[in-house]
Amino acid sequence: MTWAFKRQIFYVAVLLLFISVFVFLIIYPKLNKAPTCSDNKQNGTETGIDCGGLCARACLAKVDDISVLWSRAFKVIPGRYNAVAYLVNHNENTAVKKLNYRFRFADANNVYIGKREGSTFVPPGGAFAVFEPGIDIGNSIPVYVSFEFTQTPLWLQVSPEKVNQLKVFISDIRLTDEKTNPRLSAVIKNNSLFTIPNVNIIVILYDSSGNALSTSRTYLSQLNPLEISDINFTWPEPLSGTVVAKEIIPMYDIFSVKLQ
């Protein structure tokens, strides 16, 4: 083997080595990508494909469906109604940012008379309500009301620390003039260090049998950390029965709540 031929072999070997290193540097990162929550694989801390663990999305197999306990329409004035659906999220640390829904209304003969569609967030863990105001169904009277979600929820995880620290309390509930011009007052307190924007507060009044008699809603643009605020609800007409229980539900999107 001549010296020139050996030199050619050396150059070829160096070239092949350079090409191998270059190809390795290109291919290796693609073969060894760090796990992400959007790579369509179950890896890292995930408990399903791109869900659970450190991912924002919760795994559908590990969440329970939302229960619809009841839905009703309540007369405000003749021809005008508020619709309410009372629901329970059985998942303590998962919530939904936006979920579309539909109310349907039928008269005493179960004849369809209208619908109302909208969207809501789903708070983590517990009872909540969907409130649709000012529904005009003309001369018809909505006797039967159905409620359904019209899409599959995208469940997102909420840290247990945030759920446990974020506390809103209601106190000093007082209902007056229920047979003339009903008015309910209460005090709401943000007992946390979080700023809570866009708080919808729904009240439901019950009779001695646990049936909902009426409902109303008020709104606060923001509850600052440790803030205490008065809230008031009114009705334009007397209530149809005797109120023995009152439930007030503060509704806010937990994903919009920020630590001060």
Pairing label, strands 156-157, 194-206: unpaired
- Considering Cα of 183, then 184, then 187, then 192, what sign does the dihedral take? negative
Look at the chain and report how many structural domains it folds into.
Answer: 2
Nearest to 35, CA basis, from 17, 57, 51: 51
- CATH number for 112: 2.60.40
Give 251's strand partners: 200
- Assess if residue 197 is contained within a domain: yes
Whole-number pLDDT of residue 118: 97
Query: What CA–CA distance (Å, rounded) separates 21 from 146?
Result: 66
Pairing label, strands 144-149, 94-106: antiparallel
Helix ranges, 32-153 (H): none
Highest mean pLDDT among 17-21, 26-30, 116-120: 116-120
Domain boundary, last residue among 143, 158, 173 = 158
Same domain (yes/no): 253, 197: yes
Phi/psi for 145 (5° steps) reads -130, 130
Whole-number pLDDT of residue 172: 97
Whole-number pLDDT of residue 36: 79
Domain boundary, last residue among 114, 142, 158 = 158
**pLDDT tens digits for range 65-74:** 999 999 999 9
Domain boundary, last residue among 127, 158, 189 = 158
Whole-number pLDDT of residue 259: 83
Q: What domain range is 92 assigned to?
A: 45-158
The stretch 211-219 carries a mean pLDDT of 96
Cβ atoms of 93 and 83 within 8 Å: the answer is: no
Whole-number pLDDT of residue 116: 96
**pLDDT tens digits for range 28-72:** 555 556 677 878 888 878 788 889 988 989 998 889 999 999 999
- Assess if residue 28 is contained within a domain: no
- Assess if residue 54 is contained within a domain: yes
Instruction: Please determine, for residue 252, whether its predicted confidence score (pLDDT) is greater than 80.
Output: yes
